[in-house]
Chain A
Amino acid sequence: MTRRRLAELLILVVMAGSCWTGSRAGTTQVQVTLPVPERIDMTGIDSILVTRVVLMNDNPKVDINRETVSHLRREMKKQTHLHVLDIEAPPLPEQPLDELARNADFWKDMSSKYGADMILASSLKYEITDRSSFVTEDVISPVTGQRVRRTRYADREGFAMEFHVYFLRGRDGALLYDDKFSEDTTLEGKGNDPLTALFTMFEHIHPELFGIISSNQKVESRILFTE
Chain B
Amino acid sequence: MLSLPAAALAAENAKEQMDFGVKAAKKGLWREAAFRWEKALKLDPRNPRIINNLAVAYETAGQFDKADQLYRQALQVDPGNRDIKQNYDLFTSYFKQIQARQHPVPPAAPAAPAADTEPAPPPPADDSPPPR
Interface residues of A (CB under 8 A from B): 24, 26-28, 30, 32-37, 39, 52, 54-55, 65, 90-95, 99-106, 109-110, 113, 173-179, 211, 218, 220-227
Contacts and interface: CB of A to CB of B under 8 A. Distances in A.
Interface string B103-114: 011011111010
B3 interface: no
B102 A223 contact: no
B86 A39 contact: no
8 contacts: A30-B56, A35-B62, A36-B97, A36-B101, A91-B130, A222-B87, A223-B83, A226-B22
A223 to B, nearest CB: 4
Nearest to A54: B132
Contacts of A173: 110
Contacts of B52: 223-225
B129 A32 contact: no
Given A34-B94, A223-B86, A226-B22, A103 B119 contact: yes
Interface residues of B, number: 46
Across the A-B interface, give the 5 residue pairs with the lowest CB-CB distance, nearest first.
Answer: A91-B131, A225-B49, A110-B123, A175-B108, A102-B111
Given A222-B90, A223-B86, A226-B19, A106 B62 contact: no
B25 interface: yes
Contact of A34 (B49, B59, B104): B59
Given A101-B108, A223-B83, A93 B120 contact: yes
Nearest to B33: A224
A113 B83 contact: no
A31 to B, nearest CB: 9
A166 to B, nearest CB: 9
A2 B66 CA distance: 56
Interface string B5-41: 0000000000100110010011000000000000000
B80 interface: no
Given A30-B56, A224-B52, A227-B49, 20 more contacts: A27-B83, A30-B25, A30-B26, A32-B56, A33-B60, A34-B59, A34-B94, A91-B131, A92-B131, A93-B124, A93-B129, A94-B129, A95-B118, A101-B108, A103-B113, A113-B123, A178-B105, A223-B86, A223-B87, A224-B56
